[in-house]
Amino acid sequence: MHDAPLMTARDLHKRFGETQALDSASVDLHAGEVLALMGPSGSGKSTLLHCLAGIVAPDAGSIIYDGRDLAQMSDVERSALRRSEFGFVFQFGQLVPELTCLENVALPLRLAGVGRRAAEKSAAEWLRRLEVADVADKRPGQASGGQGQRVAVARALVTSPRVVFADEPTGALDSLNGERVMQLLIAAARDTGAAVVLVTHEARIAAYSDREAVVRDGRVREQEFAR
Ligand SMILES: Nc1ncnc2c1ncn2[C@@H]1O[C@H](COP(=O)(O)OP(=O)(O)OP(=O)(O)O)[C@@H](O)[C@H]1O
């Protein structure tokens, strides 16, 4: 891990009204590493993840991703970056309810201009890999929570992103399902070389990471170079 970081965030500040969500938060992300953001509720973990992912603009501070300064990019450029280089998994899959699970996983490829057949072929392969091929033709509402999260992981990885942002991806699952979804997410990320930024407050889930950063009061208080 001695190469230059893939992403460097320095002194991020973000205020929502009276709340100082980020207060000089700094963190690095290296290519291919799994970084867990831990810390108490309300400490700023999700806000930090949203800033790193270019979803929320910090009030101050810098985020350099692969030599590019996110603040210098237009909204259109940031959206294009998110679509082509990042994948997302949230606590509640956030799948499109009207589409089948297969169509949901194919969607990021379709948006990137891939033809329907090729996109659905890749989507089917990812559903198999995540052990949910059987829900391909079902709508998300007909799948269980654990199946839905696996579909969401497949959707996040189908474009071979360089970074997967996962915000409490197992927070709504029972522990057995949660562990399996984490194992599948990490295995898929390792296979494809994607880095993962994982927000969690569960030590059991953070144990899947290479490194833990603790967010407290809007700052990254300590970084353990564990494992
Ligand atoms: N869009 C928003 N509008 C107003 N306040 C917000 C917004 N987003 C976050 N906050 C506030 O900023 C602080 C940090 O929130 P954030 O969601 O980043 O914390 P967190 O560590 O992820 O919390 P949790 O573990 O409970 O999800 C909290 O006080 C929260 O209420």
- Does residue 92's CB lie within 6 angstroms of at least one atom of ligand 1? no
Instruction: Give the DSSP H or E segment for 140.
Output: none
- Does residue 45's CB lie within 6 angstroms of at least one atom of ligand 1? yes
- Does residue 149's CB lie within 6 angstroms of at least one atom of ligand 1? no
Q: What is the pLDDT of residue 202?
A: 86
CA-47 nearest atom, ligand 1: 18
* Mean pLDDT of the residues in the chain: 92
Phi, psi of 95 (to 5 degrees): -85, 155
The answer to whether 158 touches 137, Cβ cutoff 8 Å, is: no
- Does residue 201's CB lie within 6 angstroms of at least one atom of ligand 1? yes
The residue-averaged pLDDT of 60-87 equals 94
The answer to whether 53 touches 78, Cβ cutoff 8 Å, is: no
Phi, psi of 76 (to 5 degrees): -65, -45
Instruction: Give the DSSP H or E segment for 141.
Output: none
Q: What is the pLDDT of residue 77?
A: 93
Mutation pick for ligand 1 pocket among 37, 38, 41, 45 (CB with most ligand atoms within 8 Å): 45
Q: Which residue has the higher pLDDT, 111 or 224?
A: 111
CA-14 nearest atom, ligand 1: 12
Q: Residue of the nearest CA to atom 25 in ligand 1? A: 41
Q: Is the pLDDT of residue 18 over 80?
A: yes
- Does residue 200's CB lie within 6 angstroms of at least one atom of ligand 1? no
The 8 Å CB, 24+ separation contacts for 115-123 are 122/158, 123/154, 123/158
Q: What is the pTM of this model?
A: 0.93
Whole-angstrom distance, CA of residue 68 vs CA of residue 21: 24
Helix (H, G, I), strand (E, B) or coil at 164: strand
Q: What is the pLDDT of residue 221?
A: 84
| Percent of the chain with pLDDT strictly greater than 90 | 81
Q: Is the pLDDT of residue 225 over 60?
A: no
Q: What is the 3-state secondary structure (H, E, C) of 179-214?
A: HHHHHHHHHHHHHHCCEEEEECCCHHHHCCCCEEEE
CA-49 nearest atom, ligand 1: 18
Q: What is the pLDDT of residue 51?
A: 97
Read off the amino acid at residue 29.
L
Q: Is the pLDDT of residue 118 over 90?
A: yes
Strand partners, 196: 34, 164
